[in-house]
Chain A
């Protein structure tokens, strides 16, 4: 073979091997084919519905009161204490946080929700599959209204946690390609935010069905839900924190815009009252009540099951997906019953419960922290009972005797029984060497000597992980009643509805009605106390103490519990002694969460909250 020819062959072979696939022009055009794109999400029904479910998911699962996945509002108020010293609530309570610590930083989370909602509203109208279905237009209209209501609720949550929000364009999301200079938004005033939220709830309510006609829709936004959530927003807006609060006189944007109105308006209370009344007047809801075997009202069970019985007559809004069983219940259950005993309750909350006779047992505290006992209540702080009665058995510390039924439904104390008594018949001992005491409990023990007991299902068994699943109630009629009474009392003190609705709550709770003749201030006290008791551990107390500007008294200073380092038996008095378990730090800045420092850094026009 000719040399040159041979070379040519080799050249040919070499390059053929290498270029065989190389010359394929599609070499780089291998984008993932036939996959879901955003455009297609809004072309297909199921995908759009899944996107809407994503929007819903930004409603926080408040059954977690410990870590970032849930909300911290129980442990940050005087109704609760999360035992673990390495959890953020502990650090926050002792004042060890600042804007860069990002504890429970939901600022971004809520805005993620707002963006997904806006984007859904922006695009759902394109959905050809839904449009082609029967009543397609109506479905789209409803879905869009659901997203609108959800968005309003996310804004409302920002207002609760951070105060004045940044209001974004409503019909279109901001493109991620927008130059940064155009993204330097500033905060709107609190009242502007409220107006926006209210108008959005109103708009959504118009397009939503009043209530569910399909059982599969429970948990979605309805007109009634919108009205309830709106009533809550208006009640907050009328409260002293936001209604002419002069502490916020200097709370302004850089351009001088006042963020919190400096003039008090009693009309705000009226608006709140009207909104609550509108919910009541729907006639859709009623307080949940059950009778005992003898056919008489059973206040304890009625109160208890208002949260346990699925979608009962009192439920307005609930989150079906939640971690009640493996979180809330687990953390509130004693150790020997498979729980972690971490959701403690401070003595202050225990003291708040009224007596069975409706009287307030403790009217205040002396400088040394000892309680001022209301003699006519019959309350005692020494000794142990000798008889069995409806809720307690002989040998119970007298502090827990003859309290109102809601106490026994809400508080686990040393000497009480586990709710699931069948599987765990032992009496709960929280004294030092008790079965749920500090001794040998590693870090799983209550620091206060009490555990929260509300919203635990008696059939749940933490040791075998058999948990009764149910929706987490986020709004129920009792809240609306009490909000109505509260607002009305501020606007038209003496209005008959004030007593009427407060007493409806007391009646269900099985305690005597309040008599007429209380002053506006006295009535206010009683309504707020009723709220504190009725809505305990439902994440209200944190906000109530803030919007009434009493948090410096309730959330700062010494926090009391029992002496968990003492006691060797159920009747060891050494354990039943009030001791300070923690001194909490509350300063003015704690009325609001700080906006994360990283966000403040990004936007020069974004004002930080006062004091942070």
Chain B
């Protein structure tokens, strides 16, 4: 294969030689290209400016090219600055090209530091902070599809509740909640949700063992490293950014109207031998709308949703400084209102609203030539106003109440039944008071760096101290007002009512709060030096963390502590061969003395064949090629909800559990029991292997990076569910028993081109990750297809649907299914061939709720001051299982549960459509139609226009006199269009019935001004 490629390149080379001859109408220029040490540079590119002509230097740096005598030659070589020379009739031109120190010195963020990009071997990926400046609150929602290796979903668009779930290279452990990456902001474990993107200086994701081993037990799920901006010496630079936008839902479920509801209800009953539920009279009266109080027809989503809401984002920052001190100061504001209605008449504000205030201050003080002190302080405060009832609950209510049950309001009274299940969503949203919630966060870090070049050149020490605090408070002012139902009209036509609930008239008050604080210290000894062709680096670091949060119980209130040592040694020769060793040695208080510390080593190797002599012949095709290989161990010490696993716990109920006594005497006892059994458990360990390459081609215009990865996670904490139930253990003890294998590939590419004055930039990335359970303490199943072992951790199990029964003969002949089975019901596959459809016929179905494939691509073009860019993001191999009341028509029988309007696409005896969406309707769950099966599973692969941006640079001459150096007007839209075969609800909301606050699209205009 390699040979063929070489031959191909040689051919290309020859063709170029030939074509050169054809155009060689003028003079031939020869010469030598040397570096600043005078050594010839082989493989450097020489092109004639403005033409396609070009050549390469030979092994000793000599070249020969034909060109017109007046042309200009361009000399270029990777890692060196371009040099343009006018021929001016000369036939011999020797050129010295200078090392582009910027390119060679380009650094990347690695664990606990930075490294020269050229010599790093770890798998990491970065995103330009500019790409994260979207008019959304949440940084996490901007990441999916922008960085290779990041898999995620956003299950809700509710302001303040819209965090996306993010996984680095997918989920590699059994509990997805324990697969969250470690997020470090300015070197400290912190939340990233509320960082103002304007303040981000760099954003890096560390994916493989070599990059994360130094984080030891905290690194197994990958690490996200964010640094905030710092000042650069110079005059104060002021930046102002302001956007103002409109938001609307991406997709609101379409519900059936009242007439459809009643007709379908009647059909559901009649089609299985029952009586119609609704009289024709009632249907007619509902249809005519003559008395909407007694014959209502309500679209409940319409009663709670607004069409549009707004968001606003502003940031002002100033940076600058002197040789001695630099600063970056920033203040930000973000505000978003929700798309839920309010009652204008209410005496309180139940608006769904969020305001956030951020500030960031980074000061750097060069106390001496060798001493640097950095102080960073960041804070933000989020203020939220919410309806009295939680938003997700209200969505559930919409799906539980039929459209014809009662009206939104009864004249001036609130409508509602005595039911605790069928609840008027309008009341819940607008009549139950409000809640205010505020969260304050303060992050601080002080770092001291002392260069010790005087002792050993390249040696320096740093020390850091940080404390963070978070406080969150909620004030609840809620009530549950009276509810009424109309029973009819009296002789005068006045509505008659019954009161179905006696409520409270005034808002009550209750409050709750929570908080945490964290101390983090770090000290390290670093070394980085270059001797000729040898690059040597090293690190030894000590850190410790102490985190406390308010907890519901004693154990969760205790500090969470960890400490560890990390070390790294790296060596590179001639930018061609690299080797690196990393390790982390960490301890956690979660484990018994003696098994507290774990050792996590990794190695990394790199090779840059494009720097090898033999590569020069193809250097004009491939300018740069690097292979990276890493292998190592990382750990995870967080056991979901269970700390100090080595000690047992005792639980006591809060209230009396059981009482005794005669008559009036009532002697109650709380219940005390063993909560958890002590177990001697230890880390999860992840063995990670990564093989990747980086490539520059097409004259450095195209850059491709790809990494193949494999992770073997062992000792996953699991409850030992294989212990039989008759042993009677309340909570099965944990053990390090699970094993998961996760494999995949992630890749990214970018291409820059210039056509005349239009510059184009294309970028794309792709991630594929799929895991498999190797061991999970599951007992052997009766049939192999029932086993979770061998399947994905998030695998869904269900029946395989074969279609709808055509007629009763088919039902009789088919394996027996439970319940009332008639033509039009779903036929399932009998996997074990026992003639029955039951628990033994359940197998893995579909891809599950988290995508195996995530990708993104975008194209940005600019012409003079105009830019236009679109970024698409998509996911594949993911699906939803549709179920639950409201989606399942009449799941709980009559007059309960809403309906999707897709209900009309159903099987009926008159229209026995074998591909109908719904099988024969039913009242209640009369058979297994709605058991989890492939019938109600849909692929929710999608492609979204995640962002669309258009910008216009205001010409300098317009603003010259104002002191503004540059300014730009722009439009940004997010989530503008979604392409998916699934259209019942927003594709990212996941399984169920779409009862989450949908994701929102935003249309924003803004301005950027620099002074």
Interface positions of A (Cβ within 8 A of B):
3-4, 6-7, 10-11, 13-15, 17-22, 27-32, 35-38, 40-41, 47, 49-54, 56-57, 83-86, 90-91, 94-101, 107-108, 111-116, 119, 166, 168, 173-174, 176-178, 180, 183-185, 212, 215-220, 310-311, 320-321, 335-336, 338, 340, 438, 440-444, 463-464, 565, 596-599, 601-603, 606
Question: Which B residues touch A311, using CB under 8 A?
Answer: 662-663
Is residue B954 contacting chain A, with contact meaning CB distance below 8 A? no
Instruction: Output the least CB separation between A147 and chain B (Å).
Output: 13
Provide the residues of chain A in CB contact with B275, threshold 8 Å: 565
Residue of A nearest to B546 (CB): A21
CB neighbours of A107 from chain B (8 A): 725-726
25 contacts across the A-B interface (CB closer than 8 A): A10-B371, A14-B523, A18-B521, A22-B544, A28-B588, A28-B596, A35-B554, A57-B671, A85-B893, A95-B818, A95-B819, A100-B842, A107-B726, A116-B728, A168-B726, A184-B724, A310-B663, A320-B660, A442-B422, A443-B892, A443-B894, A443-B896, A602-B724, A602-B725, A606-B726
Task: Judge whether B924 and A218 touch: CB under 8 Å.
Answer: no
A113 and B728 alpha carbons, distance in the complex (Å): 7
The answer to whether B936 has its CB under 8 Å from any CB of chain A is: no
- Interface on B for A, CB 8 Å cutoff? 275, 368, 371, 402, 405, 417-419, 422, 448, 450, 452, 454-455, 461-465, 485, 498, 502, 519, 521-523, 542-544, 546, 554-555, 558-559, 561, 563, 587-589, 593, 596, 644, 647-648, 650, 652, 656-663, 665-674, 677, 720, 722-730, 732-733, 778-782, 818-820, 838-839, 842, 885, 891-896, 923-928
Known contacts A28-B587, A35-B554, A107-B725; is A54 also within 8 Å of B523 by CB?
no
Judge whether B650 and A601 touch: CB under 8 Å: no
Residue contact A215 to B422, C-beta cutoff 8 Å: no
- For the complex, give the distance between the alpha carbons of A113 and B725 in Å: 12
Which residues on A sit within 8 Å (CB–CB) of B672? Answer: 36, 41, 47, 50-51, 53-54
Tell me the smallest distance from the CB of B473 to a CB of chain A, in Å.
Answer: 26
A212 to B667, CA, bound (A): 14
B15 to chain A, nearest CB (A): 62
Q: Which of B558, B561, B650, B896 has the most CB of A within 10 A?
A: B650
The distance in angstroms between the C-alpha atoms of A38 and B510, with both chains bound, is 35
Q: A53-B658, A98-B818 are in contact. List 14 more A-B contacts (CB 8 A).
A: A14-B461, A14-B463, A18-B521, A20-B521, A35-B554, A50-B670, A56-B658, A57-B657, A85-B891, A177-B733, A178-B727, A320-B658, A438-B894, A443-B895
Q: Measured between C-beta atoms, what is the minimum distance from B418 to chain A in Å?
A: 6
CB contacts (< 8 Å) of A463 on chain B: these are 418, 502
Contact of B674 among A38, A40, A98 (CB under 8 A): A38
The 8 A-B pairs of least Cβ separation, nearest first, read A85-B924, A115-B728, A14-B463, A53-B669, A100-B839, A18-B523, A54-B671, A50-B672
Cβ-defined contact, B448 with A13, below 8 A: yes
- Chain B residues near A29 (CB-CB < 8 A): 593
Within the complex, which residue of B543, B656, B818, B842 is in contact with A97, where a contact is CB–CB below 8 Å?
B818
Please name the residue on chain B nearest to A311 by beta carbon.
B662
Find B593's partner among A28, A97, A100 (CB 8 Å cutoff): A28
Q: How many angstroms between the C-alpha atoms of A176 and B371 in the bound complex? A: 58
A18 to B525, CA, bound (A): 13
Of the candidates B417, B462, B666, B726, the one whose C-beta lies within 8 Å of that of A111 is B726
* CA distance in complex: A41, B649 (Å): 11
Complex interface: chain A residues within 8 A of B896 (CB): 442-443
Complex Cα–Cα for A215 and B664 (A):
10
Pick from B452, B462, B596, B894: contact of A7, CB under 8 Å: B452
In the assembled complex, the CB of A120 is this many whole angstroms from the nearest CB of chain B, namely 10
In the complex, which residue of chain A has the Cβ closest to the Cβ of B782?
A: A601
**CB–CB A17/B465 < 8 A:** yes
Chain B residues lying within 8 Å of A99, measured Cβ to Cβ, are 838-839
CA distance A496 to B481 in the complex (A): 64
* C-alpha spacing A148/B782, complex, angstroms: 37
A178 contact set on B, CB distance < 8 A: 727
**B463 adjacent to A15 (CB under 8 Å):** yes
Which of A84, A464, A603 has a CB less than 8 Å from the CB of B724?
A: A603
Q: Which residue of B673, B733, B927 contacts A116 across the interface (Cβ within 8 Å)? A: B673
- Of all chain A residues, which has the CB nearest B419? A442
CB closest chain-B residue, reference A583: B820
Closest B residue to A20 by beta carbon equals B521
Given A10-B448, A53-B657, A107-B726, verify A176-B732 contact (CB < 8 Å). Answer: yes
CB-based contact B666/A320 at 8 Å: yes
Q: What residues on A are CB-neighbors of B452 within 8 Å?
A: 7
Cβ 8 A contact of B725, one of A17, A31, A111, A218: A111
Known: A30-B561, A57-B658, A218-B660. A185 touches B650 (CB 8 A): no
Are B780 and A53 in contact, with the CB atoms below 8 A?
Answer: no
Chain A residue at minimal CB-CB distance from B588: A28
CA distance A178 to B596 in the complex (A): 24
Q: What is the CA–CA distance of A40 and B818 in the complex, to the nearest angstrom? A: 52
Closest A residue, CB atoms, query B521: A18
Q: How far is the CB of A204 from chain B (nearest CB, A)?
A: 17
**B781/A176 in contact, CB under 8 A:** no
A86-B648 CB under 8 A given contacts A32-B554, A51-B673: no
Cα separation A598 to B797 with both chains bound (whole Å): 15
Closest to B667 in A: A216
- Give which listed residue, B542, B730, B926, contacts A22 with CB less than 8 A: B542
Task: Please measure, in the bound complex, the distance between the C-alpha atom of A18 and the C-alpha atom of B660, giving whole angstroms.
Answer: 58
Residues A53 and B671 in contact, CB atoms below 8 Å apart: yes
Residues of B within 8 A of A15 (CB): 463, 523
Report the minimal beta-carbon distance from A249 to chain B, rounded to whole angstroms. Answer: 22
Which chain A residues lie closer than 8 Å to B893 at the CB level? 83-86, 443
Residues on B with C-beta less than 8 A from A597 are 839
Establish whether residues A599 and B461, one from each chain, have CB atoms under 8 Å apart when the complex forms: no
Output the nearest chain A residue to B559 by Cβ-Cβ distance. A30
The distance in angstroms between the C-alpha atoms of A173 and B896, with both chains bound, is 48
* A180 B648 Cβ-Cβ under 8 A: no
Q: Return chain A residues, CB-CB under 8 Å to B885.
A: 86
Contact among A28, A95, A112, A336 for B589, CB-based, below 8 A:
A28
Is there contact, CB below 8 Å, between A183 and B818?
A: no
Kindly list chain B residues whose C-beta atoms are within 8 Å of the C-beta of A321: 656-659, 668
Q: Which residue of A lies closest to B644 (CB)?
A: A31
Asked if A320 meets B661 with Cβ closer than 8 Å, knowing A37-B648, A41-B650, A176-B733, the reply is yes
CA distance A279 to B554 in the complex (A): 49
Q: Are B589 and A216 in contact (CB under 8 A)?
A: no
The residue in chain A whose Cβ has the minimal distance to the Cβ of B499 is: A463
The answer to whether B891 touches A86, judged by C-beta atoms less than 8 angstroms apart, is yes
Question: Beyond A10-B371, A50-B652, A116-B673, is A599–B726 a contact (Cβ under 8 Å)?
Answer: yes
Query: Which residues of chain A are within 8 angstroms of B422 by Cβ–Cβ distance?
Result: 442-443
Bound-state Cα–Cα, A463 to B502, Å: 8
A3 to B732, CA, bound (A): 62
B839 touches A112 (CB 8 A): no
A28 to B891 CA separation, bound complex (whole angstroms): 53
Measured between beta carbons, the chain B residues less than 8 angstroms from A212 are 662
Contact A442 B894 (CB under 8 A): yes
From residue A145, how far is it (CB to closest CB) to chain B in Å? Answer: 16
With known contacts A32-B558, A212-B662, A220-B660, A18–B419 Cβ distance under 8 A: no
- B894: which A residues are within 8 A, CB to CB? 438, 442-443
Residues of A within 8 A of B733 (CB): 176-177
Complex CA distance for A388 and B48, rounded to whole angstroms? 117
List chain B residues, Cβ under 8 A from A54: 657-658, 671-673
CA distance A19 to B523 in the complex (A): 8
Known contacts: A94-B819, A443-B892. The answer to whether A112 contacts B728 by CB under 8 A is yes
Residue from the list A14, A183, A217, A565 in contact with B448, Cβ < 8 A: A14
User: In the complex, how many angstroms separate the beta carbon of A467 from the nearest chain B beta carbon?
Assistant: 15
CB of B596 within 8 A of CB of A444, answer no
- Measured between beta carbons, the chain B residues less than 8 angstroms from A114 are 728
Given the complex, which residues of B lie within 8 Å of A27, measured CB to CB?
544, 561, 563, 589
Residues of A within 8 A of B895 (CB): 440-443
Residues of A near B659 (CB, < 8 A) are 219, 320-321
Residues on the B chain within 8 Å of A51, using CB: 671-673
